Amino acid sequence: MRQVSIGLDNINASEIALGLMRIPEKTTAQVVELLETAVSHGVNFFDNADVYGNGEAERRFGDALAASAIDRENILIQTKIGIRHDQYDFSKDHLLAALDGSLERMGLDHVDFLLLHRPDALMEPDEIAEAFFEMQKDGKVREFGVSNFNPTQVELLQQAVAQPLVINQLQLGLMHTGMIDAGFHTNMSDARSIDHDGGLYEYSRLNNMTIQAWSPYQYGFFEGVFINNPKFPKVNELLQKLAAKYASNVNAVAATWILRLPTSVQVIAGTTNPGRLAQICEADQVQLTRTEWYDLYLAAGNDLP
């Protein structure tokens, strides 16, 4: 599996990571199989959040990890905190308590990466800095990052916290390309020129923040899977063609469209099916040409000015 380097410490992480949001509906035995399949295919990175299944995804992951043959020291574990029922909460007390809850549910003494899940308009950067300081001093977190933050929000937080924010987890996939569209349509007046995210793609590159692409196979906001979906004939036809060319499969090719971006980027695959995960890991053997990357972008319904 190809690796990406994360942060100033150059931590090597697999370019395909496994997202655990959907595991609460699975049994521990099924999750053991999923985790062991991941590791046997070179995946060393696992993404969770306290809010997934109301803590159940972390609990199920912890149980499965303990029951598996996986050595915790050989994998990287990330969780996200800061969302609670009907509000986002980055207060120091909540962050410290939330991390302790996550560690307890997963049966861990530390996570490798901790992300703030969605920006809290009431955040006090100095308070977050104190929380991060304590978490790191106590050996509970190695590295910090954010999710769904725009560049200004990153800067607001970064000017207060001592640790570099090394990751931004963002929705990105062939059918969700806003941060790419805006760059192409700079200086235009059409709808795609509207920059909703403040130059997020370029900002992440400039500041050495790894982009973690969440929901890589969904269109809209959890509206469904675009792969093999008759609503999207053009992009699926091209995915099939490229899958045949590379003796691969459509899920892997769609992942490589993201991984072709010349920056530190990971795909957070959310499958709960070990067979599908093995297929996605075949992305490792595909490198799209420049022309193929653009053809897929256009087949997904986008245009270039």
Give the interface with ligand NAP as residue ranges (CB under 6 A): 19-22, 47, 147-148, 169, 214-218, 225, 227-228, 251, 268-273, 276
Least CB distance from residue 193 to ligand NAP, whole Å?
Answer: 25
Q: Which is nearer to ligand NAP, 214 or 297 (CB)?
A: 214
Residue 199 and residue 211: Cα distance in Å, rounded? 13
Q: Three-state DSSP class for 221?
A: coil
Q: Which is nearer to ligand NAP, 35 or 227 (CB)?
A: 227
Q: Which residue's Cβ has the minimum distance to ligand NAP?
A: 270
Among 69, 14, 63, 28, smallest CA distance to 272 is for: 28
Least CB distance from residue 157 to ligand NAP, whole Å?
Answer: 16
Q: Which ranges in 1-46 belong to alpha helices (H)?
A: 28-40
Q: Which is nearer to ligand NAP, 20 or 128 (CB)?
A: 20
Residue 164 and residue 157: Cα distance in Å, rounded? 10
Report the 10 Å Cβ neighbour count for 233: 10
Least CB distance from residue 171 to ligand NAP, whole Å?
Answer: 7
What are 88's strand-pairing partners?
83
Q: Which is nearer to ligand NAP, 185 or 259 (CB)?
A: 259
Least CB distance from residue 10 to ligand NAP, whole Å?
Answer: 23
Least CB distance from residue 222 to ligand NAP, whole Å?
Answer: 7
Q: Which is nearer to ligand NAP, 210 or 218 (CB)?
A: 218
Least CB distance from residue 305 to ligand NAP, whole Å?
Answer: 29
Report the 10 Å Cβ neighbour count for 92: 16
Q: Which is nearer to ligand NAP, 218 or 302 (CB)?
A: 218
- Residue 45, both tokens: 């990175």
Give the C-alpha distances (Å, rounded to integers) separating 222 from 6, 48, 214. 27, 17, 11
Torsion sign, CA atoms 259, 261, 264, 265:
negative
* Single-letter amino acid code for the residue at 243: A
